[in-house]
Chain A
Amino acid sequence: MPTLTYLQAISAALRDELRADERVLLMGEDIGVFGGAFKVTDGFVDEFGTDRVMDTPLAESGIIGTAIGAAVVGMRPVCEMQFSDFISCGFDQLVNVAGKMHYRQGLAVPITVRLPSGGGFSGGPFHSQNPEAWFMHAPGIKVVAPSTAEDAKGLLHSAIHDSNPVCFMEHKHLYRRVKGEVPSGVFETPFTARVARPGSDLAVIAYGAMVPVALEATEDVDGASIEVLDLRSLVPLDEEAILDSVARCSKVVIVDEANSTCAAGAQVAALIAEKGFEDLDGPVVRVATPDVPIPFSPPLESAVLPGVERVREACRELLAY
Chain B
Amino acid sequence: MATHTAEPAADGAAAVEHLTTEDRIWLLRAMLLMRGLEERAMTLYRQGKVPGSFYDGYGQEAVSAGAAFAMGPEDGLCILHRDLAAHLIRGVTPARILAQYMGRATGITGGRDGNVHFGDRNLGCVGMVSMLPDMMLVATGMAMAFKLRGERRCALTWFGDGSTSRGDFHEAMNWAGVQRLPVIFVLENNQYAYSTPVDKQYAVDPVERAAAYGFVGVTVDGNDAEAMFEATRAARERALAGDGPTLIEAVTMRMHGHAAHDDMKYVPKEQVEQWRKRDPIERQEARLRSLGVDVEALRAEVKATIDAAADEALAAPMPDPGSVLDGVFCEGEAEPLGSGNAPWSGFATSDEAVV
Cβ contacts B202-244/A at 8 Å (1 or 0 each): 0000000000000000000000000000000000000000000
Is A302 part of the contact surface with B, judged by Cβ < 8 Å? no
Number of B residues whose C-beta is below 8 Å from A? 47
B314-354: which have CB < 8 Å to A?
A: 327-337
Q: Across the interface, which residues of A come within 8 angstroms of B178, CB to CB?
A: 57
Considering only CB atoms, which chain A residue lies closest to B141 in the complex?
A: A69
Asked if A139 and B328 make an inter-chain contact with CB atoms under 8 angstroms apart, the answer reads yes
Asked if A61 and B329 make an inter-chain contact with CB atoms under 8 angstroms apart, the answer reads no
Partner of B121, one of A64, A107, A163: A107
Cα A110 to Cα B145 with chains together (Å):
14
Cα A163 to Cα B131 with chains together (Å):
24
Asked if A66 and B328 make an inter-chain contact with CB atoms under 8 angstroms apart, the answer reads no
Asked if B141 and A65 make an inter-chain contact with CB atoms under 8 angstroms apart, the answer reads yes
Asked if B142 and A72 make an inter-chain contact with CB atoms under 8 angstroms apart, the answer reads yes
Contact stretch, chosen from B27-35, B87-95, B110-118, B249-257 = B110-118
Is B155 part of the contact surface with A, judged by Cβ < 8 Å? yes
Is B137 part of the contact surface with A, judged by Cβ < 8 Å? yes
Closest CB in chain B relative to A2 CB, distance in Å = 31
Asked if A140 and B328 make an inter-chain contact with CB atoms under 8 angstroms apart, the answer reads yes
Contacts A66-B175, A70-B144 given; indicate if A61 touches B335 (C-beta within 8 A): no
Contact stretch, chosen from A94-102, A204-212, A241-249, A264-272 = A94-102
Is A282 part of the contact surface with B, judged by Cβ < 8 Å? no
Is B302 part of the contact surface with A, judged by Cβ < 8 Å? no
Asked if B155 and A69 make an inter-chain contact with CB atoms under 8 angstroms apart, the answer reads yes
Considering only CB atoms, which chain A residue lies closest to B76 in the complex?
A: A73
Cα A120 to Cα B155 with chains together (Å):
44
Contacts A69-B144, A163-B334 given; indicate if A102 touches B328 (C-beta within 8 A): yes
Asked if B142 and A73 make an inter-chain contact with CB atoms under 8 angstroms apart, the answer reads yes
Is B138 part of the contact surface with A, judged by Cβ < 8 Å? yes
Task: Name, among B127, B138, B139, B174, the residue most crowded by chain A CB atoms within 10 Å (CB to CB).
Answer: B138
Considering only CB atoms, which chain B residue lies closest to A107 in the complex?
A: B121
Partner of B138, one of A65, A103, A142: A65
Q: Across the interface, which residues of A come within 8 angstroms of B130, CB to CB?
A: 96
Is B159 part of the contact surface with A, judged by Cβ < 8 Å? no
Asked if B171 and A57 make an inter-chain contact with CB atoms under 8 angstroms apart, the answer reads yes
Considering only CB atoms, which chain A residue lies closest to B175 in the complex?
A: A62
Asked if B328 and A69 make an inter-chain contact with CB atoms under 8 angstroms apart, the answer reads no
Cα A61 to Cα B141 with chains together (Å):
12
Is A51 part of the contact surface with B, judged by Cβ < 8 Å? yes
Contacts A57-B175, A71-B334, A102-B327 given; indicate if A107 touches B140 (C-beta within 8 A): no
Considering only CB atoms, which chain A residue lies closest to B336 in the complex?
A: A74
Closest CB in chain A relative to B212 CB, distance in Å = 14
Asked if A106 and B121 make an inter-chain contact with CB atoms under 8 angstroms apart, the answer reads yes
Is B172 part of the contact surface with A, judged by Cβ < 8 Å? yes
Partner of A57, one of B131, B155, B174: B174
Partner of B333, one of A57, A70, A100, A163: A163
Is A25 part of the contact surface with B, judged by Cβ < 8 Å? yes
Asked if B137 and A61 make an inter-chain contact with CB atoms under 8 angstroms apart, the answer reads yes
B134-156: which have CB < 8 Å to A?
A: 134-146, 148, 155
Cβ contacts A118-155/B at 8 Å (1 or 0 each): 00000000000000000000011010000000000000
A70-114: which have CB < 8 Å to B?
A: 70-75, 77, 92-93, 96-97, 100-110
Asked if B134 and A93 make an inter-chain contact with CB atoms under 8 angstroms apart, the answer reads yes
Q: Across the interface, which residues of A come within 8 angstroms of B174, CB to CB?
A: 57, 59, 62
Considering only CB atoms, which chain B residue lies closest to A110 in the complex?
A: B334
Task: Name, among B126, B129, B134, B330, the residue most crowded by chain A CB atoms within 10 Å (CB to CB).
Answer: B330
Considering only CB atoms, which chain B residue lies closest to A51 in the complex?
A: B148
Considering only CB atoms, which chain A residue lies closest to B74 in the complex?
A: A73
Asked if B172 and A65 make an inter-chain contact with CB atoms under 8 angstroms apart, the answer reads yes
Asked if A62 and B138 make an inter-chain contact with CB atoms under 8 angstroms apart, the answer reads no
Provide the main secondary structure of the chain A interface. helix
Q: Across the interface, which residues of B come within 8 angstroms of A68, CB to CB?
A: 137-138, 141
Partner of B146, one of A52, A56, A73: A73
Cα A61 to Cα B140 with chains together (Å):
12
Closest CB in chain A relative to B104 CB, distance in Å = 15
Is B66 part of the contact surface with A, judged by Cβ < 8 Å? no
Cα A74 to Cα B124 with chains together (Å):
12
Asked if B129 and A96 make an inter-chain contact with CB atoms under 8 angstroms apart, the answer reads yes
Considering only CB atoms, which chain B residue lies closest to A235 in the complex?
A: B329
Considering only CB atoms, which chain A residue lies closest to B122 in the complex?
A: A106
Q: Across the interface, which residues of B come within 8 angstroms of A61, CB to CB?
A: 137, 167-168, 171
Asked if A100 and B138 make an inter-chain contact with CB atoms under 8 angstroms apart, the answer reads no
Asked if A96 and B155 make an inter-chain contact with CB atoms under 8 angstroms apart, the answer reads no
Contacts A102-B330, A105-B118, A107-B126 given; indicate if A65 touches B144 (C-beta within 8 A): no
Q: Across the interface, which residues of A come within 8 angstroms of B76, CB to CB?
A: 69, 72-73
Is A67 part of the contact surface with B, judged by Cβ < 8 Å? yes
Q: Across the interface, which residues of B come within 8 angstroms of A92, CB to CB?
A: 131, 134, 168
Is B109 part of the contact surface with A, judged by Cβ < 8 Å? yes
Chain B residues engaging chain A, CB cutoff 8 angstroms: 76, 108-109, 112-113, 117-119, 121, 126-127, 129-131, 134-146, 148, 155, 167-168, 171-172, 174-175, 178, 327-337
Complex A-B: 30 CB contacts under 8 Å: A57-B175, A61-B168, A62-B171, A62-B172, A62-B174, A65-B171, A66-B144, A68-B137, A69-B76, A69-B138, A69-B140, A72-B126, A72-B336, A73-B145, A73-B146, A73-B336, A96-B129, A96-B134, A97-B129, A97-B135, A102-B327, A102-B328, A103-B328, A104-B113, A104-B118, A105-B108, A105-B119, A108-B330, A163-B329, A163-B333
Chain A residues engaging chain B, CB cutoff 8 angstroms: 25, 51-52, 56-57, 59, 61-62, 64-75, 77, 92-93, 96-97, 100-110, 139-140, 142, 163-164
Q: Please give 4 more A-B residue pairs, beta carbons under 8 A apart, in addition to A69-B137, A97-B135.
A: A69-B138, A70-B145, A96-B129, A109-B334
